[in-house]
């Protein structure tokens, strides 16, 4: 029996090769679909920068899947040919003039508060003057022109799967094709005040306007499912499927101190100190400021007791800090500031060792579609402190400590208890490892395959 042909959209990789959030989900699912060998998979990129998307995916996935360009008839296979290389040069645009000026001055005065204030003010002025207007209705929303090569591919395929972007218009050529998309959360609808990228709102609006009885929508938590049912009432219940995520097998507890220390040294993290870790996503939704305030409060409350404790953040240093986060960093006491470490972007292969070496993991997000870092931390044997909001209670169960997102006092006390009480810490580690076993990438992919 011939295998079904599946169109798989890798558009999310047009933005970055870093494996976090949606790119991680996309890579994990695609890798397992390839291993299952139940479909003939053809990759496409539904948005611009298709060569960059293909190139970035190849940095994270070793496979020889065909890739169909919007503007070229032949399928492009695993090796980048001249077409992709030339297009990649065009797509890798230089940074803006303002960005280059900022990088230049920050390279000389990285700690200057005055310079940071000037940069923040300049950004605000630029945003106010040059912010592009994005239309709020379908009539003004520009649908990309249809590609004859995508049309041909759709005619020859049985199913279409998009891990992030709305349906491609070429699907109208073949109404019988199986269609499935993933909606991770409805932050733009549920918490519009937390929205940092208005494009996400219009993407969700586009999805809502194209819901048909045959469209499958996958979502990653029961909380997100409830939100979707509330805001997308026309969607049939049997077409809305929860596919809980999993932590990759590489996220396992490591008790080999030498291995952990080797990774810590790579990111300039002291090997002779205890540390709390968190994700440095400079987005107010992640509520990183609360973690910073709690750490500062702990340093001031116990000036002589936990002198070896550090706060280690992992995540790109290139992200623009919000006013709330910058204010939290600036408010750190002198004693605490020297114990604050931003390790920068950590390779996926190194992250399990940084988790394993931590005394605890703090994730005080205001809203999550799932909360994969929490699951990965538990699987690595790290006590978790997190928020009691959105999907996070589903992931943590009774294995972690859950608090109100802005409860700085409670977070300070929870951290103190974990680093002071070895018995409590060991109990949380054991519970976390057991809780993590309830989530599995293979189960996630099973549910997807059932509907494709």
Provide the pLDDT for residue 264.
92
Q: With cut-offs at 50, 70 and 90, classify the pLDDT of residue 337.
A: confident
Does CATH place domain 4-91+137-246+442-451 in 3.30.1460? no
- Smallest Cα–Cα separation from 299: which of 383, 384, 408? 408
Q: With cut-offs at 50, 70 and 90, classify the pLDDT of residue 232.
A: confident
**Residue 125 confidence (pLDDT) above 70:** no
Provide the pLDDT for residue 404.
96
Q: With cut-offs at 50, 70 and 90, classify the pLDDT of residue 134.
A: very low
Distance CA 334, CA 131 (A): 37
How many C-beta atoms lie closer than 10 Å to residue 406's C-beta? 15
Q: With cut-offs at 50, 70 and 90, classify the pLDDT of residue 131.
A: very low
**Total-model pTM:** 0.80
Average pLDDT over all residues of the chain? 83
- Please give the average per-residue pLDDT across 348-375, as a whole number: 93
Distance CA 141, CA 400 (A): 44
Provide the pLDDT for residue 303.
82
How many C-beta atoms lie closer than 10 Å to residue 339's C-beta? 21
- The answer to whether the 4-91+137-246+442-451 and 257-439 domains have the same CATH topology is yes
Distance CA 11, CA 428 (A): 39
**Residue 133 confidence (pLDDT) above 60:** no
Does CATH place domain 257-439 in 3.40.50.2000? yes
- Please give the average per-residue pLDDT across 158-184, as a whole number: 92
Provide the pLDDT for residue 1.
64
Angle 41-47-48 (CA atoms, 0-180°, nearest 5)? 120
Percent of the chain surpassing pLDDT 90? 45
The structural domains of the chain, with segments of one domain joined by +, span 4-91+137-246+442-451, 97-130, 257-439
**Residue 122 confidence (pLDDT) above 80:** no
Q: What is the pLDDT of residues 386-417, one digit of tens each?
A: 999 999 999 999 999 999 999 999 999 999 99
**Residue 342 confidence (pLDDT) above 80:** yes
């Amino acid at each position: 029996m011939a295998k079904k042909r599946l169109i798989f959209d890798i558009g999310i990789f047009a933005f970055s090769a870093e494996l976090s959030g949606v790119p991680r989900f996309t890579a994990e699912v695609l890798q397992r679909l390839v291993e299952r060998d139940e479909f003939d998979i053809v990759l496409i990129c539904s948005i611009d920068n298709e060569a960059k998307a293909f190139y970035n995916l190849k940095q994270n996935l070793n496979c020889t899947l065909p890739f169909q360009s919007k503007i070229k008839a032949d399928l492009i296979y695993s090796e980048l040919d001249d077409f992709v290389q030339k297009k990649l040069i065009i797509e890798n645009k230089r940074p803006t003039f303002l960005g280059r000026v900022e990088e230049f001055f920050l390279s000389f005065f990285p700690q200057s508060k005055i310079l940071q204030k000037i940069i923040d003010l300049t950004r605000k002025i630029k945003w106010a003057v040059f912010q592009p207007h994005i239309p709020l209705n379908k009539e003004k929303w520009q649908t990309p022109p249809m590609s004859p090569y995508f049309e041909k591919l759709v005619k020859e395929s049985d199913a279409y799967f998009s891990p992030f972007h709305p349906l491609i218009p070429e699907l109208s050529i073949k109404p019988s094709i199986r269609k499935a998309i993933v909606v991770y959360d409805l932050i733009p609808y549920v918490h519009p005040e937390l929205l940092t990228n208005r494009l996400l709102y219009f993407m969700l609006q586009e999805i809502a306007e194209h819901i048909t009885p045959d469209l499958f929508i996958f979502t990653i938590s029961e909380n997100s499912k409830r939100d979707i049912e509330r805001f997308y009432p026309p969607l049939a219940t049997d077409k809305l499927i929860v596919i809980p995520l999993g932590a990759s097998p590489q996220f396992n507890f490591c008790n080999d101190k030498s291995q952990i220390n080797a990774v810590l040294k790579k990111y300039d993290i002291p090997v002779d100190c205890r540390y709390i870790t968190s994700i440095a996503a400079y987005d107010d939704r992640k509520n990183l400021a609360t973690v910073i305030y709690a750490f500062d409060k702990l340093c001031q409350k116990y000036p002589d007791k936990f002198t070896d404790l550090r706060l280690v953040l992992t995540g790109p240093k290139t992200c623009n800090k919000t006013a709330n986060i910058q204010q939290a960093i600036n408010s750190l006491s002198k004693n605490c500031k020297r114990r604050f470490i931003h390790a920068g972007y950590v390779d996926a292969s190194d992250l399990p060792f940084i988790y394993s070496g931590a005394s605890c993991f703090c994730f005080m997000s205001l809203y999550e579609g799932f909360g994969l870092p929490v699951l990965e931390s538990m699987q690595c044997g790290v006590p978790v402190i997190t928020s009691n909001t959105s999907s996070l209670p589903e992931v943590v169960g009774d294995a972690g400590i859950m608090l109100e997102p802005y409860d700085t006092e409670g977070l300070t006390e929870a951290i103190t208890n974990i680093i002071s009480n070895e018995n409590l810490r060991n109990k949380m580690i054991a519970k976390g490892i057991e809780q993590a076993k309830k989530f599995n990438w293979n189960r996630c992919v099973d549910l997807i395959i059932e509907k494709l």
